[in-house]
Chains A and B, each alone.
Chain A
Amino acid sequence: MTDTKTSLPRADSTDTGPARRQGTGLLRVFSMREFPVTLALIILVLFTWLSNPRFLSSQGLKDLLLNATIMMILAAGQALIISTKSVDLSAGSALGLTAFLTGTLFATFEGIPIVVVFVAGIALGAALGAFNGLLVTTAKVPALVITLGTLYVFRGLNNWWAGGTQYFAGDRPKAFGNLSVTTVLGVPIITIIALVVIVFVTMFQRYTRSGRDLYAIGSDPAAAVVYGIPVGRRVFMAFLANGALVGLAGVLYASRFNSVGATTGTGLELQVVAAAVVGGVAIVGGVGTAAGAAIGAMLLTTITGSLTTIGVDKFWQQAVVGVLILASILIDRLATLRRASQLRKATQ
């Protein structure tokens, strides 16, 4: 059994799972958790586009998507974890390790097939995720603490392994780098990979037994145990899946960016959590989808570019990101309160 007791047992989330079936049509779209963040993203993009049409030129769109891709995958994985009331702070460090593995493989084995590198990166990510998951589920220690520890351990391993070595895009085959250059219908290939994965994860959350179990665990771990859900196994699986996604993100990182080294991915961890929160994944668990988290990641990465395009001083960008995070949790809180009072009225 696992004690996935809340990292923070405070705010009360009255709704359970993304599939609330009341209401019809438009109303249902409006009441989706992903709705506010999607609306914000659309408004942001439209507004920026109106003030500078080049923002949505084919090159502009491509940059937009490329900048968001890595963070979208990480946020989708994080959504799996947070929906079970856990959190993974080690994502940035694990990404660094897999990105460096990718660089190393290409540099040491000339002509290694790209597929093999993908498999190796994902496998390493999954192994790191399994390590987190094993500690969380067997030692009954909150994920926040374990992954804070592995944040440092993985980073230390990366530092020890890489030392001063850095691998640059020149060390990697052209076909691999082209994944981030070639576009299909204006969408870069790595973004397509990411979108497929995110859709897959969201379907898993929504339509499979074990995916739904994650929400039950996040809503109330004790009740999930009583209900007969193998909590430990499910949480372990969530960490394993998240690790595999981080591994994929690490491989794609090596394709997207020029250099990978000892500090790759440092400081990403809290941005990933922020993206998931903005995307409607409540930090108290039990709600939110990978798709929402990915849209949140897209919003957070897009806002930097669009503020520059609009001509906002670059020093204001991070403050705006902070306001955005706070606004999104406030909106979520208000919506929850309103829904709770509606439910109360309905039952009276």
Chain B
Amino acid sequence: MTATRALPLAPGGQLTDGIRRILSSRSALMTYLLVVLIIGASLLVNNFAQPRTATFLLLDVVATLLMAMPMTLVMINGDIDLSVASVAGLSSAVLGVLYSGGTPFWAAVLICLGLGLVCGLFNGVMTAYVGLPALAVTIGTLALFRGLALVVIGDNAVANFPEAASDYATGTFGNSGIPLVMAPVAIVIIIFAVVLHMTPFGRGLFALGHSMEAARFVGVGTKVSRLYSLVASGFIASLAGVFWTLRYSSARSDNAIGLELVVIAAVVLGGVSVFGGKGSIWGSVCGVLIIGVVNYALRLNRIPEVVLVTITGLLLIISVVAPSLVASWSDWRHRRRRSRNRGSVTTTAGATSA
């Protein structure tokens, strides 16, 4: 489906050329990898090919998947948001305290989401308007928001959320195994995909990530764009925090701790460049799902959970190192051929690597 979305600006007339480009794009490669992994796991791993897999696998990755969407935007800008897991923790803690204090459940959820907006606004203003590097700001708010979560709830834990809400967070569509929450998650994904790939705002983010100055000259509101992306990140992170709370029926200050690096790893695996200017929503979705599938399949295979992190790390490293290895290899081959044919005219410009 969405490989098309990755490169919507493929040259119009040369249709085959455009299709070839789409089929060899980074998000397409991630899609192939994901499909191969799912098929491979279904064939090789006992108990993988059944509805229960879909349920647990997807429920496990929902929080990461949600956070990965705005993170894609933020990182395409060339910024980063390390505070997402802390925002989720804060919103979980606030939800717990408000609800146990007698606030109606839905009002408490709305307050949490509002709080997420405020957290994102703070990051955004500090980064886009005060001019501080996002990495430094969000390391600070990583500590601050997690600290506020501790202030709010201490080392208590709140459980006993309304059954309807908990059931929704863990339920599935009939016997299909697809969790109910995937419906709103899919809507979030579609919204982000449309915003990033089909609106002037989203296209502006790519320009901004490549060169902020150039983007400003062509009329992109660079500050506003960076602000909106970080605000979206705070908002979605608090949404993920609410989900986390309901999924595990527990509001604690350390919910989702350390998840920020998992989200960034998944997004980078999906083809987002840390320098900004590159990436796609579909690629990020694939990145999250690839890590989810690998982890789930290996866990079914009784690989100790603790070793799984190695796989995540290796996947990440290989995904970024492989392209540059391939490039330097074909560069080397190209040069060798040229030096062998020295004397003859060197018009092998077409042989350069992709």
Q: Do A and B truly interact? A: yes
Interface of B is mostly: helix
Residues from chain B with a CB closer than 8 A to the CB of A67 are none
Residues from chain B with a CB closer than 8 A to the CB of A249 are none
B140 & A329 in contact (Cβ 8 Å cutoff): yes
Residues from chain A with a CB closer than 8 A to the CB of B142 are 270, 322
Interface size on A, residues (CB 8 A): 53
From A5, A153, A163, A262, contact of B313 by CB (8 A): A153
Q: Does B104 make an interface contact (CB < 8 A)?
A: no
Closest residue on chain B to residue A318 by CB atoms: B147
Q: Complex: how many Å from CA A274 to CA B136?
A: 8
Residues from chain B with a CB closer than 8 A to the CB of A151 are 261, 313
Residues from chain A with a CB closer than 8 A to the CB of B130 are 330, 333
Contact flag A322-B306 (CB < 8 Å), given A8-B80, A139-B325, A277-B139: no
Q: Complex: how many Å from CA A284 to CA B78?
A: 13
B312 & A152 in contact (Cβ 8 Å cutoff): yes
From A148, A270, A318, A333, contact of B316 by CB (8 A): A148
Shortest CB-to-CB span from A341 to chain B, Å, is 14
Q: Of the 9-residue stretches A68-76, A98-106, A154-162, A290-298, which lies at the interface with chain B?
A: A154-162
A159 & B309 in contact (Cβ 8 Å cutoff): yes
Closest residue on chain B to residue A323 by CB atoms: B144
Shortest CB-to-CB span from A94 to chain B, Å, is 13
Q: Complex: how many Å from CA A283 to CA B127?
A: 13
Q: Complex: how many Å from CA A270 to CA B132?
A: 17
Closest residue on chain A to residue B265 by CB atoms: A148
Contact flag A277-B310 (CB < 8 Å), given A315-B151, A316-B151, A319-B151: no
From B135, B314, B316, contact of A8 by CB (8 A): B135
A236-264 residues with Cβ-Cβ distance < 8 A to B are 262
B301-332 CB contact bits vs A (8 Å, 1 = yes)?
00010111111111011001100110000000
B307 & A156 in contact (Cβ 8 Å cutoff): yes
From B133, B150, B275, B321, contact of A319 by CB (8 A): B150
Shortest CB-to-CB span from A75 to chain B, Å, is 13
From B141, B311, B321, contact of A135 by CB (8 A): B321
Contact flag A141-B320 (CB < 8 Å), given A8-B79, A148-B261, A319-B147: yes
Q: Does B41 make an interface contact (CB < 8 A)?
A: no
Q: What total count of A-B pairs have CB within 8 Å? A: 168
Closest residue on chain A to residue B130 by CB atoms: A333
B115-155 residues with Cβ-Cβ distance < 8 A to A are 126-127, 130-137, 139-148, 150-151, 154-155
Q: Complex: how many Å from CA A144 to CA B275?
A: 10
Residues from chain A with a CB closer than 8 A to the CB of B137 are 326, 329
Residues from chain A with a CB closer than 8 A to the CB of B312 are 152
Residues from chain A with a CB closer than 8 A to the CB of B313 are 148-156
B147 & A322 in contact (Cβ 8 Å cutoff): yes
Q: Does B82 make an interface contact (CB < 8 A)?
A: yes
Q: Complex: how many Å from CA A333 to CA B131?
A: 8
Q: Complex: how many Å from CA A9 to CA B134?
A: 10
Shortest CB-to-CB span from A110 to chain B, Å, is 29
Closest residue on chain A to residue B150 by CB atoms: A315
Could you give 18 example pairs across A and B, Cβ below 8 Å? A5-B275, A87-B135, A144-B80, A149-B317, A151-B261, A151-B313, A153-B310, A154-B313, A262-B306, A270-B142, A274-B140, A315-B147, A318-B143, A318-B146, A321-B144, A322-B143, A325-B136, A326-B141
A interface list, Cβ under 8 A from B:
5-11, 87, 89, 135, 139-142, 144-146, 148-157, 159-160, 163, 262, 267, 270, 273-274, 277, 283-284, 313, 315-323, 325-326, 329-330, 333
